[in-house]
Amino acid sequence: MSKLVPAHGGKGLIECLLTGAELTAELKKAEGLKKLDISARSKGDLIMMGIGGFSPLNGFMSKADWKSVCEKYTLADGTFWPVPVCLDTDDDSIKAGDEIALVNKGVIYATMKVTEKFEMTEADKKFECEKVYRGEGEESEGENFWKIAPKDHPGVQMVLAQGKFNLAGPVKVLSEGDYAVKYPGVYLRPSETRAMFEAKGWSTVSALQLRNPMHRSHEFLAKISIEVCDGCLIHSLIGNLKAGDIPAEVRVKCIQILIDNYFVADNVINAGYPLDMRYAGPREALLHATFRQNYGVSHMLIGRDHAGVGDFYGLFEAQQIFDRVPTNGPGKDLVTKPMKIDWTFYCHKCDGMASLRTCPHTKEDRVILSGTKLRKALSEGAEVVDHFGREEVLVELRKYYAGLTEKVEIKMQGAASGDVMK
């Protein structure tokens, strides 16, 4: 009997990925179907459905599910789910009852039985943005949101740019893309991480979400979690990011350097998952906890401004949202719990890593750590202050930036600069 948390939804891992003879037959069938080009985000969503990462989802959401997720944080049947997973298109010819092949860059990733096609008006898209992407930060206050978000919030931009329709229906997934080849031993399915946790005898497992290079604050968070859990899954996004973010292959290498030099290797796993960032702030923190439950994770590390962008979200809004999660009973509820950690930093007077809960000193004594601040310094060739990152990691990051021919301006928000710290 497994001691790990159950898969989300109460039905075990729902894996839509075909193998063997079934895969061969479905690929042959897909060649004769109408082809629909899909976005990189939808490709990632499909792969997660394929490997069970999005259990209990077995396809793209209906209008009833979409509306319920936006308003109530649940699917129409009451199962917790925090962020819409929909397939958009401008194709007028597709209708309910059709069977189609879903293609990205010439690769057939899935077939889909269209059970519903519903229009997404501009009002519908704004409704989704308001419910899912609007936060409590200064850039979301009053009229600021619609003045700033369409040009500065990548998640809002993504929703507003979607097609006129959403297609709903179950999928049969035919490809995981090149993740297993590109990230051997790091790209892991939920069934694989669960098997690894079981083999190690773990029952409580933390997860550290990463989209930035791992600095001293991330290291500190992971080590705190290892003190109270059996082990930590350092789980970085290996799908697409926004311009200016550091590529997955660089981040994965830096994480491994850090593990090799500063962790007890038996207590930590370096892994990646194939989604694109949605930049939904607190809602995305909930999504991160939801699919980590499928990976066997019992505790999701939530620090300052988790999955945030700009100043759209309050500093600890991603922690507070967990207190408002609806409950509808066994199988339907989110089981993975947040591990809420206060603002962390290096303090010269404490002579070590600390947080606002443990350090009595002033911000002048502290090295404020953030992925955005690190990326800005590296991209501008500026000096990285002492105690910000491990030198072995900074060497790799400097190599990456030295090889760039084009650089993206990095915008500093209040939290990343430390200006809002008292």
Residues catalogued as catalytic: 211-212
Three-class SS state of 120:
coil
The token pair that represents 124 in the structure block:
């519908």
State phi, psi for 182 to the nearest 5 degrees.
-75, -30
Residue at 91: amino acid letter: D
In whole angstroms, what is the distance from residue 391 CA to residue 420 CA? Answer: 28
In whole angstroms, what is the distance from residue 109 CA to residue 46 CA? Answer: 7
Instruction: Give the bridge partners for 36, in sequence order.
Output: 102
Cβ–Cβ < 8 Å for 34, 81: no
**DSSP per-residue string spanning 163-203:** -SEEEEEEEEE---TTHHHHSTTTB--HHHHHHHHHHHT-S
In whole angstroms, what is the distance from residue 313 CA to residue 332 CA? Answer: 27
Cβ–Cβ < 8 Å for 229, 298: yes
Question: What b/e sequence results for 127-136 when a residue is b if at least 16 CB atoms lie within 10 Å of its CB, and e otherwise?
Answer: bbbebbbbbb
Cβ–Cβ < 8 Å for 380, 263: no
Q: Please return the burial class of 271, using the count of CB atoms within 10 Å of its CB with bins 0-12, 13-18 and 19+.
A: buried
Cβ–Cβ < 8 Å for 79, 326: no
Find where tokens 């008006």 sit. 121
In whole angstroms, what is the distance from residue 101 CA to residue 190 CA? Answer: 25
Neighbours of 419 (CB within 10 A): 11
Cβ–Cβ < 8 Å for 319, 308: no
